[in-house]
Amino acid sequence: MRPGDQIDAIREAFDIIGVSASQFLIEILTNDHYSNDKIVIDLLANGHHIAELLASHSQTTQEWASDIITDVCAQEIRDLSGKKHGSHFAVSHTSVEQLEEFNMDLLGKGMQKLAPTLWSLFDRLLFVGKKYVGVEVSTEGPEDSSSEEDIYWEVFGDRELEGLMGVSADTSESVKQEKITARHNKLAMIKKVVISVHAPQKVIETLSRMGICVSVDSINTAVLSLSKEARHGISALGQTLLASYAYDNFDVDLKSTVHTVDKSEDTLKHLTAGLLFPLQHGITLNDLRCSNALWETSPLNPQVESVDITSKKGWKDLLTLHPDPLNEAGLSMRDRFNAWKILSDLIEFGPTYFRQFKDRLQHPESVEIIPSTKTPILASRAMDISNSTVSGNINSVLELLKQGNIEDPAEYNPPPALDVSEYVTLFHGDLGTGERLQAALQRRAIESTPWYRLQHVIFIPGLFHLKMASADAIWRTFLQHSSARVDENALMRDVGILRPKETGIYGSKPGFRRMHQLITYSGICRRLDCWRVEVKKGVPSHVDLDAFAASEPLFDDLLAMADVIAKAYVADHRLRRMRSKNVTQRDGEYENALLLNKYMLLYEELSFAMNMGDIGRVETCIVAWILIFKATGKHKYATHMSDFLCNVHFVYSDGLR
């Protein structure tokens, strides 16, 4: 019988018994009695082909698919909007913890898991007009692949790094866009919430009615909730007297949207922002209870006889703070750090052969390290105070203490349980803040009460500002003067390679960010070149580091060579002997290169010690930088850092120290 005759016979059979083909298929596929029937087995085996044939009938298939997708997406939306999913956000009870713990990647993973069909639909819609790549969100935890430099540039931005990466602007931009698309394409709609915060009010209100973002009222409600929580947190922390304060100025340009004929007043407002954070590492109130003792020996106290005042110490007294014995190779502590950094650069940035030694390279020994702890930070209310004056700094200090619920004890009735006059309070800031606070203490020294003479205020210079001053000292030494740029190996030659379009900027006033980049990358290149020179000196056939890597040197050999390079290619006491020779016997470029290596390594050591919390090593670096500051004309920084270290070690009590 021909296939056509068979189909006609089956059609006649369906007509005789009064059953349609669809009824037959539905019944035989849904009835468990026929689950093992050969017809069911055959249908399931050829289901893909049957579905393709049905798909050729577009009208029926689209209606069916639309109904299915609509039902599935509607159910997934109901699941996502349910409280059990945890996506509900009550703006009237917004807390700092909610904002700090918010993670867009985790939110996306949860949505993808709970609503896979809806997630896939958004993914397809966002790729309309582009080649669909089907990017999946990783279900594994985030890899801890960020280096110290990555973390650093999260703060300062990485736009300036493009020139150092050796990538053209177009290529860098395309790579950057691919990374952004791959990571966040499915969350682009959700990110409209974040983008809308910067939009005008009418735009936000319009989008909120569409359900795309929150409204202005919701934003204001959340801000009020956060402000209330912060106010309570600041008050509670301040009353413990175990809080440290930091403040700095910031400017806001309040431009008017209404144009007037008359000249309006200055729209630039000078405000002050502050931070509070608890003192960690087991500090107690007894450690801070030394205000009266310090005042009794303070040179600002008019009641103290000059003979009773502690003799003033200087930078020479700081040279013996931390013992520095030489090791068996005759290397000092600074030499050992330099050797570690030199070898670290070879392992990380040299040929790939040296990567295998990364786990074997130990950190240099610590001098006096403090344990790393997570410190919560509370932002104070912005103050309409300009701290560019002495009176402005006084008002900033008093206002910050007031936000911490600390005021003049004489105004309390009954007196407070803890009298702030008996304790010291730590304030952090830059050099300008320190100068003006010192002037304020001198002005108020004649006052009769500890509160009015600010007896409890102790200033601590910010280490980041010290790092900025160090970078500026290197600029003054090797870039500021035109005579410092004529050497064949001058630092400006490195600028011409790394930043060929910015040589003029580096010659005038590059700022900290550019100098930090230059010191970091130029230092790496110079230290690798020291390896090249030393390797070729030992084996002339090793013309470069690749040839050296091909010889497969052992780790112990690298350690020994790093010690040699640290002594031979970094300036030390022998530099004075070199410079005392006759001009015809000197190599000025070599001497300058040794000194530049020394300063760059000292900058790296300061950064390393700050990041590791090695306060002892930080102090040894400060002593070295004090002398450099004096030599480069940064006398204020040299004086303030010297006075600070002398106070810490020779004036302050053991608990405060």
How confident is the model over 416-461, as pLDDT tens digits? 767 788 899 999 999 999 999 999 999 999 998 999 999 999 999 9
pLDDT of residue 67: 80
Residue 130 clears pLDDT 70, i.e. is over it? no
Nearest to 318 by CA among 654, 653, 642: 642
Give the number of other CB atoms < 10 A from CB of residue 70: 10
Ranked by mean pLDDT, the top range of 36-40, 55-59, 100-104, 344-348 is 344-348
pLDDT of residue 471: 96
pLDDT band at 131 (very low <50, low <70, confident <90, very high): low
Q: 346, 354 in Cβ contact below 8 A? A: yes
Which residues are bridge partners to 117 per DSSP? none
Q: Could you report the per-residue pLDDT of 237-255, keeping only the tens digit for each?
A: 988 999 999 999 888 887 7
Q: Which amino acid is at 217?
A: D
Residue 301: C-alpha distances to residues 297, 456, 651, 656 (Å): 7, 13, 15, 20
**pLDDT for 460:** 93
Compute the radius of gyration of the chain from its Cα atoms. 35
By percentage, how much of the chain surpasses pLDDT 70?
A: 81
- Residue 263's pLDDT is what? 58
Q: Give the per-residue pLDDT at 166.
A: 40
Could you read off the pLDDT of 351-408 as tens digits, one per residue? 999 999 999 999 999 999 998 888 888 889 889 998 889 999 999 999 999 998 888 8
pLDDT tens profile 476-518: 999 999 888 888 889 999 999 999 999 999 999 899 999 999 9
At residue 371, the pLDDT reads 87
Strand (E) or helix (H) holding 589: helix 588-612
Q: What is the DSSP string of 304-320?
A: S-GGGSPPPP-GGGGTT
Instruction: Find where tokens 């640290």 sit.
Output: 566
Taking only the tens place, the pLDDT of each residue in 336-366 is 999 999 999 999 999 999 999 999 999 999 9
pLDDT score, position 321: 87
* Rounded distance between C-alpha atoms, residue 578 and residue 490, angstroms: 19
What is the pLDDT averaged over residues 104-115? Answer: 80
pLDDT given for residue 116 in this prediction? 87
CA-wise closest residue to 290 among 442, 456, 149: 456
Q: Are 638 and 626 in contact (CB under 8 A)?
A: yes
- Whether 114 and 79 have beta carbons less than 8 Å apart is answered as yes
Q: Helix (H, G, I), strand (E, B), or coil: what is residue 609?
A: helix
> Any idea where the domains of the chain sit in the sequence?
3-56, 94-139+147-190, 233-257+266-312+377-463, 334-356+465-612
- Band of residue 333 on the pLDDT scale cut at 50, 70, 90: very high
Nearest to 434 by CA among 461, 456, 452, 395: 461
What is the pLDDT of the chain when averaged over all its residues? 82
Cβ atoms of 290 and 655 closer than 8 Å: yes
620-655: pLDDT as tens digits: 999 999 999 999 999 999 999 999 999 999 988 888
Q: Which pLDDT tens digit goes with each residue over 527-579?
A: 999 999 999 999 999 999 999 999 999 999 999 999 999 999 999 888 888 88
Confidence of residue 583 (pLDDT cuts 50, 70, 90): confident
DSSP letter, residue 484: G
CB 612 within 8 A of CB 366: yes
What is the tens place of the pLDDT at every residue in 167-215?
A: 344 444 444 444 444 444 444 443 444 444 445 556 556 555 555 556 6
